[in-house]
Every structure is written in structure tokens, then in C-alpha cells.
Structure 1
Amino acid sequence: MSSASDAGVVVPRFGTRGKAWLALLGVLIVAGLGAWAYQLQQGLAVTGMDNVFSWGLYIMLFVLFIGLSAGGLIISSAPKFFHSKRYDSLAALGVLLSLGCIVVAGLLILPDLGSPSRVTGFLTSPDPRSPMVWDFGIVLLYGLFNVGYLWLLTRRDLAKMGSRLAFGVEDTPAGRERDRKRAFWAAAIAMPLAVGLHSVTGWIFATQIGRGDWFNPLVAPMFIMKALVSGLALLLVTGILVDRFTRFRFPRELVPELGKLLGIFVAVHVVYLVAAERLPHAWAAHFEFWSITSAFLVGDTIHFWLWTLIGGVLPIALLAVPSLRRRIKAVFVASVAAIVGILFEGVYLIFTGYHDLNIDAAPGVTTGTDYTGLEADIWATTGSYTPTIVEVMVAVGLVAVGALIVTLGLRVVPIQPDDRTPVSAERDDTTATTADPVATDGGRRPEDEADAEVTGDA
């Protein structure tokens, strides 16, 4: 492995699987760039959006990755704010994930605008009455804060490694003590900033008075709750994966604790907040017991079921049982299911918001797609949207950019402190040094078992 102290900032060599992973990400990014170039040439007509469905896959994923980023930052900052060293090993990883996700979210705005030059309007002629201006500003501020926060958490270890990324900072006991105090104040800024980030995103939906499914004071609180669900779930999924394929040590006794916390978040989000949002609507619409309960319990689209069953019932069932919660595989499956559920909640949010038009009388509203020659009927009374292959390729390419940021971050930045105490007798963390943060071949440590049962109960 190449040493960072030998030549400044050097990315350690990847093994066979690591190189294959980088090659895959490179192919996806190039394909996404090609699809975006085609969209820029042909216009937004090559997407599935139109005058009726003016938000589609890009905004769905924008909301998802904003939540992933905000939740990850909140989860990783809360222990710093409350002076808990138990979760120190996950703090920098959470901030790195938050950074990768906010980059993806910010980049998703570009293809949705149609022309990248329109971004300058946010800077040259911002309208403070527009929630979009506030959202753009906080996304930019939030991304810069993530960079500084990650550097603060890792700069002493970077200095110990001799990395140029330390920017002249020295590794001293006094310096580490000062950084621990600064981390507290950074966490005090990070948590309200993350809450503000996703609240503003929620308010963009909640202030749409013409959209009955969005014009709701509970939208912003639901956005914060699903940020906590998706952010913690992503931290668990990524932590388990990098624990298996790198030298990063995911403290096994934390798995049941974080799994229990994830189960509580999912229950509050899917059970309580969904009930608080849907029951009044159902009551006002029907005033009948069966109509109310069926509208609330049965739902109305497949997206609702994918959200509530896969993203709600399945994680709760896996995480509510202590014996299952002690299994790495069960927590991993529950976390993946929670993320999938949050994704389809976004699909449900967009689809229900645009399905019923403000003008439902014939002939409706023009779709604006007649000039493409793809549709004969240019008027509609209900919304219809299917993402095109162009949108999918652009979106996948941008997600690959975020994955590349996290992958390189795990290699270059000492994500795991080298001075934390061992988490268990059989897994001595002193073997995971910051100078060699990952296995050169991307392989599994022989002493670890992916499906090992965590001892004890949370």
C-alpha cells in the first residue's frame, strides 16, 4: 500500500474488487454524462415530464438524497453534541456519507432545470419570497459545512499521517482536545442546519396551495422524520458493508442499539405521522366509518404499499424482536428496506401531488408535448408520468458520483479514529491504524464473520 506520508495526498492502491468497483462507477458516470449531453441537446422533451408533471425522477431523488444527507449528519452529530464517545467511530463516516449525498442532491437540480445557466439566476437575481431560493442557499451552505466538518473531525489524524490535507495542522494532545471542543460547537450548528435543510424542502411542497395532497402542515415534520429513518439506515448499510470489505471496524455491540433506534424512527414515521396525516383527510372526505378506515388502512396505490409495507412493516418486524436485532444480516435487511420505503414515499408524494389536476373539467390542461410528435392528444385531465431511459441514466450517473466520493473518502481520509478504545476483546481496534485505513485487496478480515450474532441485548 502506498503511504500518504511518502508523497502527500496519495490514494492507496485498490485490489481487484476495488478496481472493478471503480471501473463500474466510471462507466455509470460516463453514461450519465452522455445522457445529460443528449438531454441538453434535445431539451426536457426527452424526459417523461410535461406541463402536467413538471417534477419527476430528478426531484424524487433530490428529496431522497436531501433526507439521506440531513439524517446522516444529525445521527453523526448528536453524540458529539452530547459528549458521547461511544459513537466516535461512526461520526466521520456519517459526515462523509452526508457530504456524498448532498453533492448528489445538488447535482440533481441541474438536469431538472433544463439548462445549467439557469443556476446563475439564484445568485444574480434571487427572490427571497421563493422557497426555492432558500433551498438553493441552504444546500450550498450545507455542502460547504460538511467539507469543513469532515476536515475538523479528521485533520489531526491527517497530520499524523503526514497528509497535505492537514493544511499545516499539527497532531498534538492539546490540539486534539481543542478539536473535541470545536466538534461540540460544530455539532451544535450541524443539527439545526440539517433540520433546516430538509424543513425548507418540505415547505416547498407544503406551500403549494393548489395541491391538496401537499398543502399540509405535517409535510415538513414528516420530511425530518424520514430523514432520520433514511440517514440512520444508510449509515448502518454502509457501515456493515465497509466493515466487511475494508479495515473499518463497525462496533458490533452498537448494531442492536442502532437497530432499535431505527425501529423507533420507522414506527413514529410510518405509523404515527401517516395516521396523523391521512386520517383527517379520510374523515373529511367520507364521514363514514368503513370509508375512513379503508382509505387510511388500505391505501390507494402500489407506491403506498411499497412505502408502508416494505419500508414500514418489514423493518419494524425485524427490529422489534431482540434475537433478530442482534443479527447483522437482519439489521442490514431492515435498513435496506427502510431506504426503499423512503424512496417509494417520495414516488408516492410526487405521483399523488400531480395525478389530480387543478382543472379537472374537459378539456383539462395542455401537456405541451404535441411538438415532439410522441402524443396525439395534447390535453389531459389527469396526470401521467413514466421516467425515460435518459432520466434514469442521468440519475444513476449522479448517484455514482456520490458513491465515488464516499469510496475515495474511505481511502484518503482517516474515517476511523486510531485512538479510540477497543470495542470488544475479540476485535481489538488498535489493529486498524489511520495510516492503513483499508485492506489493500478490499478483502474481509479473517477474524470477522459477516453473519455473527452480536452478544448482549440493546
Structure 2
Amino acid sequence: MTTRDDTSRTAVPTFGSKGKLWLGFLGALVVAGLTAWGYQLTTGLIVTGMRNVFSWGLYIMMFVLFVGLSAGGLIISSAPKFFHSHRYEGFARLGVLVSLACITVAGLLILPDIGRPERLYQFFTSPDFRSPMVWDFGIVVLYGALNLWYLWLLSRRDLAAHGSKLALGVEDTEAGRERDRTLAFWTAAVALPTAVALHSVTGWIFATQVGRGDWFSPLVAPVFIAKALVSGLGLLLVVSVLADRFTDYRVDRNELTSLGKILGIFLAFHVVYLLAAERLPHAWADHFGFWAITRNFLIGESAYFWLWTVVGGALPLAMLAMPSVRKRVSVIFAASVLAVFGTMFEGVRLVFTGYDDANIDAPPGISLGGEYAGLTTDVWATVGVYTPTLVEITVTVGIVALGAIIVTLGLRYVPIQRSDGDRRTASQSDSAEGSTPVTDGGETTPETEGSR
């Protein structure tokens, strides 16, 4: 058994001038978001673009996105540990940190959407278990607690070695690290199905809406899981590259390249296969001519379709499919950004396709809940129209900024970089598997990770 003495302990890390400026900027966004939310609470949801026809807007669009980002990040971090693999060990803690930040953002986005957050306690005191929203809220809370535990479990021995109070009295011993590796396996065994359940329940909220034909499909939940894998891995790669550039975190280029390939596989499955599985039956049912079917399948019904399938799907897939360029960090970064961007607009498209056509298409239609000017029938509508207001955008940006603060503080105060012991174990495992590290430009070299 070995221990680290007090001489190895470092002082509490602090932020430099650039870090403080970054935190100040994020803090200003959070304050602006709180101010906008306060205005919404005092004025009512009328200050948003949502009405009776479009009862879900930007808050739910972003909720769906960040639930997927969180689920995908935890799946990528947990899968290797569940299979006792040391591959992608350098991304494990970062993935859980990003997952924790994203589920926090997703949970907070529920508050401005429900309009009466003071009634949130009723989820606990009088839940209606027939409602998918109750199940979704419950699993979001449990999932956030699981992320917090998982991050602390993976880093607590290093926190103890650094003398951090966040270790909560845990000591850094070799026997303790071995026990933590066993606990990490069992936590991964719980985290994987929980992450799948998290986004599946979110998908079922849409899929169980019988009155919305574009949502009522058994494929919605699997599509949501595929979205989570694409967006979660994409965001993890984006954050890892940025952290490597602006913090002390150092990304393993070999693992980065390997995860870039996996992102390409996820994109192919999601954008190519599941797109065909979802759209082809609808195209076949609506048109029986070959060209009519092909045109309906290939040509999207809105700009959001193109932003998702082409900008966020085909383009990054093409970038990652070319061996000559996909090994470059800049290409992996750009493809990951586009993948997250496309997933976001897939969620936008999802909401719009469900609400564009009102369930009552005969006049006078559905009440908008607005004011009657006495000149036109502006209180009724048969077609859904939605544009997010400045209030919604400001609130959403403020909540997202809070997630960025969580990641920033985690990178500074939590030992996200794997320890020396983990490096040696992973290096031995990689040697046994015959893997060879890759440099930024893609040439294979001897072990170069420690040279940085």
C-alpha cells in the first residue's frame, strides 16, 4: 500500500485574468437570464412566443437538446468502464463533468417553461404517474444525483492526494483506488441504463401524443438515443479540444482520433439509417410513384430539415469519413461542432412539425389567448406560428451560461486529468492491444502523450 505525503499536495488552484474575465462574462449572462425570468414571472408567459397552438417553444427545444447531450456524454464515459477497458480513460471524468453540467441546464429549463415554478413541489407531493412528465422529471433529478456521485467517485482519490476538502475525508491509498475501480464498474452498470432511460422517457413524451401524427411513432425513442450519442460525443470532443487549448487539461490525441471515427459511425447510423427508417414509410404512404417517393424522401419540408441532415449530418460525416483529414484535431473539432449544431435544429424541427398544424383546422380554430383588437380575428388560429422572444432567448442563454460555469469550475477545481497510476494502467492496456498513439497531424509515433 502506498500513500502520498503532504509534500505532493498543491495549493488551491486559482483563476488568472483571462479566466476571471471569462467567469465574469458568464456571470453577466446568468444575471441577465435571471432578470428576464423575473420579468416573465411578473408578466406571465404572454411575454414568450408560446400560445395555445404552440405550447412548447425554445425552452423545451433546448431541454430535449441538453438531455441528449447529458445522456450521450455519460454513455461514452461509462461504456469502457463497464467492459473493464481503459480506452478513453482520459475522457471519462471530463465526460461526466459535461454530463453533469448539461443535465443541470436541462433541469433548470423546465422552470421557466412551466410558468408557475412555485408549484414544482407537487411533482413530489402529488405526482400523477400516468403522466410521462412525472417520470421525466423524476429521472432528471436522479440522473443529476448520479452524475454528481460518479464525478466525485472518479476524482476523490486525486482530490485527497491534492489535499482538497472536496475529498470529504477520503484518503488516497492504492487499496482505495482499487476499490474505486470496482465501484466505478458498478456505477457504470447503473449509469448506462439510466442514461438510456433518461432520453427514452423524453422521447416517449413526444411519441405518446396521439393527436400529433408527426410524433406518434415507436421510432421516436430510438431516434432520441441516436441523437444523444451523436450530440453527446460531439460536445465532449468540442469541450476536450477547447480545454486542451485554454486550460491545463491535455487531450490524448490517439483517443481523440478514435472517438472522431466513432462519431462518424454514430452520424451514419443516425442521419442515414434512422432517417430512412422514419421517412420512407411516410413517403411510401403518401406517394406511390417512384420519383414522388424519392423526392419526398430526399427533399425536406423546411430549412430546419436541411440544417439537420446536410449541415449537421452529411457534412460532418463526409469530413470524418476521409482518412486523410479526419486525424486532424481541427477537422474533428469542426465536425463535432456541426454535429451538435445539427442535433439542435433536429429538435427545433421536431417541435415545429408537431405544432405547425393545429388539431382543430376548422374556423374559428384555437384561441391564442391574446387580446382582441376589434379589427381582425387575431385571437383565433388554425395554423401554428412561433418565434422565440428576447425574453426566452435571454433566459435560455443565462441557463446555458450556468452550465458553462459548472464546466469551467470543474476543470479548475476537480482533477479532470487522469492520474499517473491511471496513465500507466492505460498504457499497459494499450500496449497489450497493439494500439499506437497518433500525433496532431496524423503520423504514428512512439508514445508521445507525456511530451506535452
TM-score by length of 2: 0.91
5 Å matches for 1:51-450?
Answer: 51-370=52-371, 377-419=378-420, 420-421=422-423
**SS of residue paired to 1:454:** coil
What amino acid maps onto 1:63 in structure 2? Answer: V
Per-residue Cα deviation, 1:303-350 (whole angstroms, up to 9, x for no partner): 000000011111111000011111100000000000000000000000
Partner of 1:15: 16
Give the Cα separation in 2 of the matches to 1:141 and 1:373: 50
Distance 1:416 1:365, change over 3 A: same
Give yes or no for the alignment of 1:454 onto 2:436: no
Give the Cα separation in 1 of the matches to 2:191 and 2:37: 33
Give the Cα separation in 2 of the matches to 1:130 and 1:374: 40
**SS of residue paired to 2:120:** helix
Q: Which runs of 4+ in 1 moved over 6 A?
A: 371-375
Per-residue Cα deviation, 1:185-210 (whole angstroms, up to 9, x for no partner): 10010000000000000000000000
**SS of residue paired to 1:63:** helix
Give the Cα separation in 1 of the matches to 2:10 and 2:45: 41
**CA shift at 1:452, angstroms?**
3.3
Give the Cα separation in 1 of the matches to 2:373 and 2:249: 52
Give the Cα separation in 2 of the matches to 1:175 and 1:421: 17
Bigger shift: 386-395 or 114-123? 114-123
Give the Cα separation in 1 of the matches to 2:374 and 2:332: 49
Partner of 2:431: none
Give the Cα separation in 1 of the matches to 2:11 and 2:349: 44
**SS of residue paired to 1:213:** coil
Distance 1:374 1:113, change over 3 A: farther
Distance 1:289 1:237, change over 3 A: same
Partner of 2:30: 29
Give the Cα separation in 2 of the matches to 1:148 and 1:374: 59
Give the Cα separation in 2 of the matches to 1:235 and 1:360: 44
Per-residue Cα deviation, 1:394-453 (whole angstroms, up to 9, x for no partner): 0000000000001001111111122233799xxxxxxxxxxxxxxxxxxxxxxxxxx931
Bigger shift: 393-402 or 321-330? 321-330
What amino acid maps onto 2:112 in structure 1? Answer: P
Whether the 8 Å CA contact 2:372–2:378 is kept in 1: the answer is no
Give structure 1 stretches of 5+ with no counterpart: 425-450
Whether the 8 Å CA contact 2:10–2:162 is kept in 1: the answer is no
Give the Cα separation in 2 of the matches to 1:260 and 1:82: 20
Give the Cα separation in 2 of the matches to 1:347 and 1:386: 11
Partner of 2:450: none
Per-residue Cα deviation, 1:141-193 (whole angstroms, up to 9, x for no partner): 00001111111000100111111111111100000001001100100100000
Give the Cα separation in 2 of the matches to 1:374 and 1:91: 61
Give the Cα separation in 1 of the matches to 2:189 and 2:232: 18
Give the Cα separation in 1 of the matches to 2:304 and 2:444: 37
Per-residue Cα deviation, 1:85-104 (whole angstroms, up to 9, x for no partner): 13111101000000000000
Distance 1:46 1:11, change over 3 A: farther
**CA shift at 1:16, angstroms?**
2.2
**CA shift at 1:221, angstroms?**
0.1
**CA shift at 1:372, angstroms?**
9.5
**SS of residue paired to 2:234:** helix
**SS of residue paired to 2:325:** helix
Aligned length: 427
Distance 1:374 1:215, change over 3 A: farther
Whether the 8 Å CA contact 2:96–2:150 is kept in 1: the answer is yes
Give the Cα separation in 1 of the matches to 2:196 and 2:354: 23
Give the Cα separation in 1 of the matches to 2:390 and 2:375: 15
What amino acid maps onto 2:423 in structure 1? Answer: T
Distance 1:385 1:319, change over 3 A: same
Distance 1:243 1:402, change over 3 A: same
Distance 1:277 1:11, change over 3 A: farther
**CA shift at 1:118, angstroms?**
2.2
Structural RMSD (CA)? 2.1
Distance 1:455 1:62, change over 3 A: same
Give the Cα separation in 1 of the matches to 2:236 and 2:180: 23
Give the Cα separation in 2 of the matches to 1:115 and 1:105: 17
Partner of 1:49: 50
What amino acid maps onto 1:304 in structure 2? Answer: F
Partner of 1:432: none
What amino acid maps onto 2:32 in structure 1? Answer: A
Distance 1:319 1:372, change over 3 A: farther
**CA shift at 1:119, angstroms?**
1.1
**CA shift at 1:117, angstroms?**
1.2
